[in-house]
């Protein structure tokens, strides 16, 4: 072999080694690119999940606050209504006593007019009476027993004998239970 042949033989393996090294480097680079790509995909999925959770949480917040606002508007006047109930009671007592006095017919008409106007205004704002009549069955969940008296007859045992104060509801919420006397 000549010197050139020896050099060619030596050079050829070097070319093959360089090609192999380049191929290995490309594989490593592709592997790095794939791992970077996989990492980026994982980050996108994580951010998407985070976004969806945040969006769902915000939607729940909007629903909750709107529900609370509606509830607040329904019962915002509760304190005013509770404060007005003694005034209604006084009007009812006044009307009862004025009816007994036949000379105060004009006064009764004026008081009745004001009472009806007040009742209508409060009913427009959501106030309603809880209807309780003499002889209704007593229910501790719906009535407040003030006292018990001996029943005038057997039919009224455990039933309402008298209504001391009317009960009222504001919307669906009871703001004052009717105070009753029950027979024993």
Task: Give the pLDDT score at 96.
Answer: 86
| Averaged pLDDT score across all residues of the chain | 82
Domain residue limits, the chain: 1-76, 77-125, 129-184
Q: What is the distance, to the nearest Å, from the Cα of residue 9 to the centroid of all Cα atoms in its chain? A: 87
Band of pLDDT at residue 59, cut at 50, 70 and 90: very high
Match 């606002």 to its residue by tokens: 69
Alpha helices in the chain (DSSP H): 3-75, 78-100, 105-124
CATH number of 129-184: 2.30.22.10
Task: Give the pLDDT score at 61.
Answer: 95
Q: Is the pLDDT of residue 1 over 70?
A: no
Give the mean pLDDT of 136-150.
Answer: 87
Give the mean pLDDT of 74-91.
Answer: 86
Q: pTM of the prediction?
A: 0.59
Nearest-angstrom CA–CA distance, 28 and 25: 5
Band of pLDDT at residue 16, cut at 50, 70 and 90: very low
Looking at the chain, the whole-number percentage of residues with pLDDT higher than 90 is 34
Q: Is the pLDDT of residue 133 over 50?
A: yes
Match 């309780």 to its residue by tokens: 132
Task: Give the pLDDT score at 20.
Answer: 52
Task: Give the pLDDT score at 55.
Answer: 93
């Amino acid at each position: 072999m000549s010197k050139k042949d020896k050099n060619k033989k030596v050079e050829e393996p070097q070319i093959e080694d360089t090609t192999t090294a380049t191929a290995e480097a490309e594989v490593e680079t592709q592997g790095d690119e794939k791992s970077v790509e996989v990492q980026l995909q994982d980050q996108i999925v994580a951010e998407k999940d985070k976004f969806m959770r945040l969006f769902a949480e915000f939607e729940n917040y909007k629903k909750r606050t709107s529900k609370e606002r509606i509830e607040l508007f329904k019962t915002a006047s509760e304190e005013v209504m509770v404060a007005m109930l003694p005034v209604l009671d006084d009007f009812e007592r006044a009307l009862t006593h004025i009816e007994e006095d036949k000379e105060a017919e004009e006064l009764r008409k004026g008081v009745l007019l004001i009472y009806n106007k007040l009742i209508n205004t409060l009913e427009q704002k959501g106030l309603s009476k809880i209807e309780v009549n003499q002889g209704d069955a007593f229910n501790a969940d719906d009535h407040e027993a003030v006292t018990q008296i001996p029943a005038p007859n057997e039919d009224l045992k455990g039933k309402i004998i008298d209504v001391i104060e009317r009960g009222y509801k504001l919307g669906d919420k009871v703001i004052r239970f009717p105070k009753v006397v029950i027979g024993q």
